[in-house]
A and B are shown apart, each in its own frame.
Chain A
Amino acid sequence: QLQLQESGPGLVKPSETLSLTCTVSGGSISSSSYYWGWIRQPPGKGLEWIGSIYYSGSTYYNPSLKSRVTISVDTSKNQFSLKVSSVTAADTAVYYCARWESSFDYWGQGTLVTVSS
């Protein structure tokens, strides 16, 4: 059974960079059939797609965040990562990683990241 697990700091200071890693187990991140993505959800609000990456390193970003977001993949560790720079309180959210084919079929449990000094 495929499992995804987010990890990273739960508290980030304003103007700093948020960094999260998603570890994939029970399957290979190098599968040619899938992309891997990040989605976030501010407290009490809806879902926002941040971006997705293919195992080869091809990336796709939400234009609303593109200038601040970097997604990378490490196939040797079966992980992919998210960096969001220059964070503000508006970046406070639960961050999910997920597998993407034509929809997000496997999700991590999510991790709350709070931006506060």
Chain B
Amino acid sequence: EIVMTQSPATLSVSPGERATLSCRASQSVSSNLAWYQQKPGQAPRLLISGASTRATGIPARFSGSGSGTEFTLTISSLQSEDFAVYYCQQYNNWPPITFGQGTRLEIK
């Protein structure tokens, strides 16, 4: 099973600033990685697939990068609606599909 590790667990950033979230895989997942955003009481929302391809309707301030075992989600200028929990997920070697434990992005 591929273990996904996200860091930091909590990230405090001011609105308008840049946020950088990290995700590491225990073995290579190539570019088969997705990012999701989850707000309280809501289902996760797909942001990025294929490590760097934004899903339909996702603003350009969200960008993904990386391949192999190291991945980054960058939010270029934080808006109030971006404060949420973010999960990475690999789909290179499955089953099982595995998620990271999440990074909580909070207002500084």
Interface of A with B (CB < 8 Å)? 37, 46-49, 51-52, 60-64, 96, 98, 102-105, 107-110
Question: A102 with B34: in contact, given A63-B1, A96-B43 (CB under 8 Å)?
Answer: yes
Number of interface residues of B (CB under 8 A): 24
B42 proximity list for chain A (CB < 8 A): 109
Enumerate the 10 nearest inter-chain pairs by beta-carbon distance, A residue then B residue, closest first: A103-B34, A107-B43, A103-B49, A49-B97, A62-B96, A47-B99, A60-B95, A46-B101, A105-B46, A46-B102
Q: Is B63 an interface residue when CB atoms closer than 8 A count as contact?
A: no
Interface of B with A (CB < 8 Å)? 1, 32, 34, 36, 42-46, 49-50, 55, 87, 89, 91, 94-102
Question: A46 with B87: in contact, given A102-B49, A103-B34 (CB under 8 Å)?
Answer: yes
A61 proximity list for chain B (CB < 8 A): 95
Chain A residue nearest to B94 (CB atoms) is: A60
The answer for the CA separation of A61 and B96 in the assembled complex, in Å, is 7
Q: Do A107 and B44 touch across chains, with their CB atoms under 8 A apart?
A: yes
Q: Do B96 and A47 touch across chains, with their CB atoms under 8 A apart?
A: no
Chain B residue nearest to A48 (CB atoms) is: B99
